[in-house]
């Protein structure tokens, strides 16, 4: 297996071919060499090459989806050829086998803390939305509204402080709004990473809290045609769903088609009435009125894989319609036509939202010698419409005029066109140093529509350049330094009311009032990061210090309208400065064969954190006397961390423990001494899992119990209420049933087994006393197929 | 290595100690609305008449400083419930359709620096709207919302009747 060519030099190369047992080349296989922590993947011919390796003994790990990984040691004192055959795993269910090594590799190579998730994790923890499924990860939580809309929160920071990246392109929806979920299909994810910590360096403005990186990066095997059907059912909101995937590859050409359809009814909460401020809304059959909806998603992928060149097009269209809880939308908590709403739990009346997100992405990479070039080009279109009955407020005409350009039921419309382009080059300077440089740019054009104003139309352009140097200082340690410069421009269009308001006391003179001034602002900023990690025997130790920043968004600069989800009136501040964040991150992990324990603490300082502050004022002109909230900035200090441990008790029994804690305090401003809004309470998750590799004809059986203990949150800021702690129990059960050469995979969950009524402090509905969903049985069945092409 | 390990442990220790140290005083007390003072008006189940002058009297207090208050009157022809009502009035009129109800929403300031303030607001409910159409009489809700300087707010909702003499 090992042949050697003689040479007399100080650095050497390692090269070879990865094949299957039939000598068919495997392209896209991952090869990692330790302790240099270098990794590469094979090209279309199954070839790979490492250059500039110093003399030494290396451990090589070769892995490929659907095949058993191989770990081997190689001594290199000359240019060395290393060829290897991989044996297929018994099951060809590719999706369950995102390489463990890849995940470990990401953990070891990054100086920030990373969580890696594969499809199996998503299936075993399937929640109402992608982020809800990820909620289980330490340090990750969500801000929810309703059953299918969640926004990512990393260590207590959310909204525009978390960047979501799909296939290298920053996902741009309406992430500024609490009611706007993430337009990502959780059935179409091959690989997902959550970076905890300031990652502006590679991802630019907004990545202050971290990054959720979603990838559809799987390349099918040569001459294969595979696919699967995922069938899902949930009892809490009577969801039925299906996702169909078919993908295939000839020689160098591959493609993929996927569609996901979900349809769900109103979701159930363990309470008979909800107290929305001072208004009590009775519920019928504990159903949260009008929260039904549907999702219809389509994906198309097409890729070319040639020697040294890989290019992939990815097109997706995510469409959804969902209702808002009818009593808690508009100007005030209200009485609604309960007969109409409660007649069926599957229909939508006003108020509801419709969202369409279209994405076209091309990712291309070239490898020549020591240089790797990657380009990402993206186009996105996001259209979100919120519909509700026309309710005249302020000085709007009592009857909706028929001369308007928008329909009378269009409360708000947001439309966004996003053009993105990234270019990245990675160059190996010598055996132990690599340099990555890149350029990112993005242009957005945002339009608004509808009778209810909150943010004006705007255009935004951002551009950044970065360089990161990574050096293996010793066999087991890496030092990383990076610097980035960003420039951004936001140009806000002025907005006048579509109706006239009186401007004198007698009400005889009227005018179209100016609600948002034209504004043009530029922001420039340096970000940097310095990290070190070292992996002595059984230990994984990391340190990272960095500065990140975020440009204020249009809402923070220019909001001026009623928040119909919160009965408040929000006002922006055009003079806000770019938010900056300094953070120190550490990670310490100890692992033995059967035991792992780790802690990941952080310290974080913001000189000027932007948040929405409730003022003592009430709005006169536009609302129903709603309380006025203003965007403001203050100095903020935060710290916290996560702890995780894992113990393989016996071959069949696993125990796990995860905990998270965040503390925030404002050091200046009107809310000095207070915490930040939506601060997650401390929580711990205890998990016990039983696995049985085979039982009769069944395989990979598992049963697990999650016990989630959440502390009370008494550290609050107006208008929040203290939230009691709670304990919730989730059960999981699953396995595989042989089906021809494949296996049907079944996963079952019972969420909130005890049907306990509890409140989630970081849910938007917490403010109106809506508890978390009641007991929910979730069933997911995956039926794969595979044939030759 | 050793330095790294010990510095991590040290910083963890500092965090834990910091977390355990006493919290600074912040104002987490909401303002209060007191309608038990003598001469408080309106109180639950009161009847008001169109066109007659009244003085709205409620005692507002806060532990630090009051912000502003807001009054909201809207119909209860559909018998909806408010959780702040101490007791409901047992003589509600039958449910009826809303055609031209009286609506009042207005914001009022409280002088700076007060932690106690009793409203003394002259108030007359007009009998007709600007076009001369009569407002509907019947069951109404009367709401007072009060904020303090920190932005905490409380509401009090009362059931009242508005009638025509």
Contact across the interface for A278 and B18, Cβ inside 8 Å = no
Under the banding of pLDDT at 50, 70 and 90, the label for residue B16 is low
Distance from CA of B52 to the nearest CA of A (A): 22
Q: How many CB atoms lie within 10 A of CB A697?
A: 9
In tens, the pLDDT along A641-664 reads 999 898 989 989 999 999 999 999
Chain A contact for B161 (CB, 8 A cutoff): no
Distance from CA of A589 to the nearest CA of B (A): 11
Chain A contact for B83 (CB, 8 A cutoff): yes
pLDDT at A95 over 50: no
Distance from CA of A300 to the nearest CA of B (A): 47
| Beta pairing class for A627-648 and A568-571 | parallel
What is the pLDDT averaged over residues A248-272? Answer: 93
pLDDT at residue B146, as a whole number: 94
Distance from CA of B157 to the nearest CA of A (A): 7
Chain B residues lying within 8 Å of A603, measured CB to CB: 11, 15
Distance from CA of A453 to the nearest CA of B (A): 20
pLDDT at residue B155, as a whole number: 86
Under the banding of pLDDT at 50, 70 and 90, the label for residue B64 is very high
Is the pLDDT higher at A502 or at A667? A667
pLDDT at residue A508, as a whole number: 80
How far apart are the C-alpha atoms of A567 and A627, rounded to whole Å? 8
Considering CB atoms only, which of A278, A543, A601 is closest to B12? A601
pLDDT at residue A108, as a whole number: 56
Nearest-by-CA chain A residue for B73: A624
pLDDT at residue A49, as a whole number: 87
Under the banding of pLDDT at 50, 70 and 90, the label for residue A89 is low
Is the pLDDT higher at A672 or at A70? A672
Chain A residues lying within 8 Å of B24, measured CB to CB: 673
ipTM: 0.82
Under the banding of pLDDT at 50, 70 and 90, the label for residue A523 is very high
pLDDT at B2 over 90: no
pLDDT at B130 over 90: no
**Which of A65-74, A225-234, A257-266, B109-118 shows the lowest per-residue confidence on average (mean pLDDT)?**
A65-74
Chain B contact for A574 (CB, 8 A cutoff): no
Considering CB atoms only, which of A278, A335, A663 is closest to B155? A278
N residues, chain B: 165
pLDDT at residue A197, as a whole number: 81
Contact across the interface for A278 and B82, Cβ inside 8 Å = yes
pLDDT at A15 over 60: yes
What single DSSP character describes residue A202? H
What is the pLDDT averaged over residues A438-451? Answer: 95
pLDDT at B11 over 70: no
Nearest-by-CA chain B residue for A630: B151
Contact across the interface for B11 and A624, Cβ inside 8 Å = no
Distance from CA of B67 to the nearest CA of A (A): 5
Asked if the bond preceding A35 is cis, omega within 30° of 0, the reply is yes
pLDDT at residue B106, as a whole number: 85
pLDDT at A779 over 80: yes
**Which of A73-87, A313-327, A724-738 shows the lowest per-residue confidence on average (mean pLDDT)?**
A73-87
In tens, the pLDDT along B141-164 reads 888 999 999 999 998 888 899 999
Considering CB atoms only, which of A278, A536, A616 is closest to B84? A278
Chain B contact for A132 (CB, 8 A cutoff): no
Domains recognised in chain A with CATH numbers: 2-89 (2.60.40.10), 100-788 (2.40.170.20)
How far apart are the C-alpha atoms of A682 and A640, rounded to whole Å? 10
pLDDT at residue A99, as a whole number: 31
What is the pLDDT averaged over residues B10-15? Answer: 56
**Contact assessment for residue A564 and residue A411, using Cβ atoms and an 8 Å cutoff:** yes
Q: Compute and round to an integer the Cα radius of gyration of chain A.
A: 27
Under the banding of pLDDT at 50, 70 and 90, the label for residue A416 is very high
Considering CB atoms only, which of A616, A625, A641 is closest to B67? A616
In tens, the pLDDT along A674-690 reads 999 989 999 999 999 99
Q: CB-based burial of residue A350 (10 Å sphere; 0-12 exposed, 13-18 middle, 19+ buried)?
A: buried
End-to-end CA gap in chain A = 31
Contact across the interface for B152 and A719, Cβ inside 8 Å = yes
Contact across the interface for A278 and B147, Cβ inside 8 Å = no
Contact across the interface for B151 and A603, Cβ inside 8 Å = no
Phi, psi of A379 (to 5 degrees): -130, 135
Nearest-by-CA chain A residue for B19: A663
pLDDT at A71 over 60: yes
What is the pLDDT averaged over residues A151-164? Answer: 89
The angle formed by the CA atoms of residues A768, A774 and A776, to the nearest 5 degrees, is: 140
pLDDT at B88 over 80: no
Chain A residues lying within 8 Å of B143, measured CB to CB: 278
Chain B residues lying within 8 Å of A613, measured CB to CB: 151
In tens, the pLDDT along A208-231 reads 899 998 888 778 888 889 999 999
Q: Is A625 left (phi over 0), alpha (psi -120 to 50) or beta?
A: left
Name the average pLDDT for chain B.
83
pLDDT at residue B5, as a whole number: 56
Looking at CATH, the fold of the domain delimited by B26-163 is given as: Immunoglobulin-like (2.60.40)
How far apart are the C-alpha atoms of A183 and A431, rounded to whole Å? 42
pLDDT at residue A4, as a whole number: 41
Under the banding of pLDDT at 50, 70 and 90, the label for residue B4 is low
Candidates B156, B70, B150, B63; CA nearest to B115 is: B63
Contact across the interface for A641 and B157, Cβ inside 8 Å = no
Chain A residues lying within 8 Å of B157, measured CB to CB: 278
Q: What percent of chain B has pLDDT over 70?
A: 80
pLDDT at residue A150, as a whole number: 81
**Which helix H or strand E contains B9, and what residues bound it?**
helix B2-20
Where are the strands (E) in A138-186, listed by range? 140-144, 150-154, 162-166, 169-170
Considering CB atoms only, which of B25, B70, B80 is closest to A625? B70
pLDDT at residue B95, as a whole number: 82
Q: Domain ranges in chain B? A: 26-163
pLDDT at residue A463, as a whole number: 95
Under the banding of pLDDT at 50, 70 and 90, the label for residue A94 is very low
Q: CB within 8 A of B117, min separation 6: which ones?
A: B59, B60, B61, B66, B110, B111
Q: Show which of residues 9-68 on chain B sit within 8 Å of chain A, judged by CB atoms.
A: 11-12, 15, 18-19, 23-26, 28, 66-68
**Which of A99-103, A482-486, A605-609, B73-77 shows the lowest per-residue confidence on average (mean pLDDT)?**
A99-103
Nearest-by-CA chain A residue for B15: A639
pLDDT at residue A103, as a whole number: 47
Structure tokens at A325: 């809880």
Contact across the interface for A541 and B5, Cβ inside 8 Å = yes
Chain B contact for A509 (CB, 8 A cutoff): no
The angle formed by the CA atoms of residues A535, A536 and A539, to the nearest 5 degrees, is: 70
Under the banding of pLDDT at 50, 70 and 90, the label for residue A247 is very high
Chain B contact for A656 (CB, 8 A cutoff): no
How far apart are the C-alpha atoms of A712 and A704, rounded to whole Å? 26
pLDDT at residue A334, as a whole number: 66
pLDDT at residue A472, as a whole number: 84
pLDDT at residue B8, as a whole number: 54
Under the banding of pLDDT at 50, 70 and 90, the label for residue A98 is very low
Chain A contact for B129 (CB, 8 A cutoff): no
Contact across the interface for A674 and B72, Cβ inside 8 Å = no
In tens, the pLDDT along A376-385 reads 999 999 999 9
pLDDT at residue B23, as a whole number: 54
Chain B residues lying within 8 Å of A541, measured CB to CB: 1, 4-5, 8
pLDDT at A107 over 70: no
Under the banding of pLDDT at 50, 70 and 90, the label for residue A327 is confident
In tens, the pLDDT along A704-727 reads 999 999 999 999 999 999 999 999
What is residue A255's three-state secondary structure? strand
Contact across the interface for B8 and A601, Cβ inside 8 Å = yes
pLDDT at A1 over 80: no
pLDDT at residue A525, as a whole number: 92
Q: What percent of chain A has pLDDT over 70?
A: 94
Question: DSSP string of A112-133?
Answer: SEEEEEEHHHHHHT--SSHHHH
Contact across the interface for B147 and A619, Cβ inside 8 Å = no
């Amino acid at each position: 297996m090992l042949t050697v060519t003689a040479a007399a030099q100080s650095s050497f190369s390692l090269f070879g071919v990865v094949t299957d047992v039939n000598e068919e080349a495997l392209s896209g296989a991952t090869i990692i060499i330790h302790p240099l922590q270098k990794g590469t993947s094979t090209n279309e011919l199954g070839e790979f090459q490492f250059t500039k390796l110093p003399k030494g003994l290396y451990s090589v790990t070769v892995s490929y989806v659907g095949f058993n990984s191989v770990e081997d040691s190689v001594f290199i004192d000359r240019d060395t050829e290393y060829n290897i055959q991989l044996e297929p795993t018994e099951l060809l269910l590719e999706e369950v086998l995102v390489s463990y090594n890849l995940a470990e590799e990401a953990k070891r190579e990054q100086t920030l803390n990373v969580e890696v998730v594969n499809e199996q994790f998503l299936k075993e923890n399937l929640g109402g939305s992608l982020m809800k499924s990820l909620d289980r990860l330490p340090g990750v939580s969500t801000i929810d509204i309703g059953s299918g809309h969640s926004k990512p929160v990393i260590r207590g920071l959310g909204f525009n402080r978390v960047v979501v990246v799909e296939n290298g392109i920053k996902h741009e929806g309406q992430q500024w709004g609490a009611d706007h979920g993430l337009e990502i299909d959780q059935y179409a994810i091959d690989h997902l990473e959550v970076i905890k910590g300031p990652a502006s360096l590679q991802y630019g403005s907004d990545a202050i809290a971290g990054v959720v990186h979603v990838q559809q990066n799987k390349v099918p095997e040569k001459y294969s045609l595979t696919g699967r059907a995922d069938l899902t059912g949930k009892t809490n909101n009577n969801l039925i769903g299906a996702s169909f995937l078919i993908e295939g590859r000839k020689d160098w050409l591959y493609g993929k088609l996927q569609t996901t359809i979900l349809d769900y009814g109103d979701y159930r909460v363990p309470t008979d009435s909800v107290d929305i401020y001072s208004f009590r809304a009775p519920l019928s059959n504990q159903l949260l009125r009008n929260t039904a909806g549907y999702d219809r998603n389509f994906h198309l992928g097409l890729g070319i894989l040639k020697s040294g060149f890989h290019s992939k097009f990815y097109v997706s269209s995510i469409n959804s319609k969902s209702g808002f809880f009818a009593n808690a939308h508009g100007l005030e908590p209200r009485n609604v036509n309960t007969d109409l709403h409660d007649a069926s739990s599957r229909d939508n009346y006003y108020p509801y939202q419709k969202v369409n997100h279209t994405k076209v992405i091309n990712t291309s990479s070239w490898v020549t010698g020591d240089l790797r070039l990657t380009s990402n080009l993206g186009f996105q279109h996001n259209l979100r419409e919120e519909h509700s009955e026309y309710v005249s407020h302020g000085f709007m005409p009592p009857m909706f005029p028929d001369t308007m350009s928008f329909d009378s039921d269009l409360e708000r419309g947001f439309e966004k066109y996003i053009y993105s382009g990234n270019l990245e080059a990675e160059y190996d300077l010598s055996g132990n140093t690599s340099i990555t440089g890149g350029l990112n740019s993005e242009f957005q054009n945002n339009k608004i529509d509808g009778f209810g104003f909150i943010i004006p139309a705007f255009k935004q352009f951002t551009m950044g350049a970065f360089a990161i140097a990574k050096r293996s200082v010793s066999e087991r340690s890496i030092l990383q330094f990076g610097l980035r410069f960003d420039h951004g421009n936001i140009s806000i269009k002025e907005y006048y009311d579509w109706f006239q308001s009186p401007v004198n006391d007698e009400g005889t003179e009227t005018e179209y009032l100016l609600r948002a001034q034209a504004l043009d602002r530029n922001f420039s900023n340096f970000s940097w990061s310095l990290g070190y990690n070292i992996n002595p025997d059984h230990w994984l130790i990391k340190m990272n210090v960095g500065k990140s920043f975020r440009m204020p968004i249009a809402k923070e600069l220019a909001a001026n309208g009623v928040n119909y989800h919160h009965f408040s009136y929000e006002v922006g501040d055009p003079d806000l400065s770019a938010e900056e964040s300094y953070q120190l991150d550490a990670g310490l992990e100890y692992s033995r064969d059967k035991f792992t324990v780790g802690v990941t603490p952080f310290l974080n300082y913001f000189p000027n954190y932007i948040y929405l502050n409730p003022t003592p004022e009430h709005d006169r002109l536009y609302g129903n006397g709603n309380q006025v909230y203003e965007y403001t900035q203050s100095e903020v200090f935060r710290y916290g961390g996560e702890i995780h441990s894992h113990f393989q008790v016996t071959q069949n029994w696993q125990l796990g423990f995860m905990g998270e804690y965040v503390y925030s305090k404002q050091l200046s401003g009107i809310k000095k001494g207070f915490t930040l809004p939506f601060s997650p309470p401390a929580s711990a998750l205890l998990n016990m899992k039983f696995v049985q590799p085979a039982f009769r004809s069944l395989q990979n059986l598992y049963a697990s119990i999650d016990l989630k203990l959440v502390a009370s949150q008494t550290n609050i800021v107006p208008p929040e209420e203290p939230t009691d702690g709670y304990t919730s129990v989730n059960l999981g059960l699953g396995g595989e049933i042989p089906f021809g050469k494949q296996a049907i995979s079944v996963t079952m969950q019972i969420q909130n087994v005890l049907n306990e009524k509890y409140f989630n402090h970081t849910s938007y509905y917490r403010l109106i006393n809506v508890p978390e969903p009641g007991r929910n049985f979730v069933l997911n069945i995956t039926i794969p197929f595979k044939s030759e092409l | 290595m050793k330095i790294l390990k010990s510095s991590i442990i040290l910083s963890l220790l500092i965090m834990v100690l910091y977390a355990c140290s006493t919290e600074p005083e912040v104002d987490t007390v909401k303002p209060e609305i007191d309608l038990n003072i003598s001469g408080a008006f309106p109180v639950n189940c009161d009847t008001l008449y169109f066109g007659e002058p009244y003085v709205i009297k409620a005692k507002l207090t806060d532990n630090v400083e009051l912000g502003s208050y807001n009054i909201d009157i809207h119909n209860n022809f559909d018998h909806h419930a408010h959780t702040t009502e101490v007791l409901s009035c047992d003589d509600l009129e039958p449910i009826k359709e809303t055609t031209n109800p009286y609506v009042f929403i207005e914001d009022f300031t409280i002088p700076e620096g007060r932690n106690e303030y009793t409203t003394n607001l002259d108030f007359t409910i007009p009998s007709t709207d600007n076009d001369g159409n009569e407002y509907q009489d019947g069951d109404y809700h009367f709401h007072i919302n009060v904020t303090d300087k920190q932005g905490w707010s409380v509401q009090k909702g009362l059931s009242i009747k508005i009638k025509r003499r």
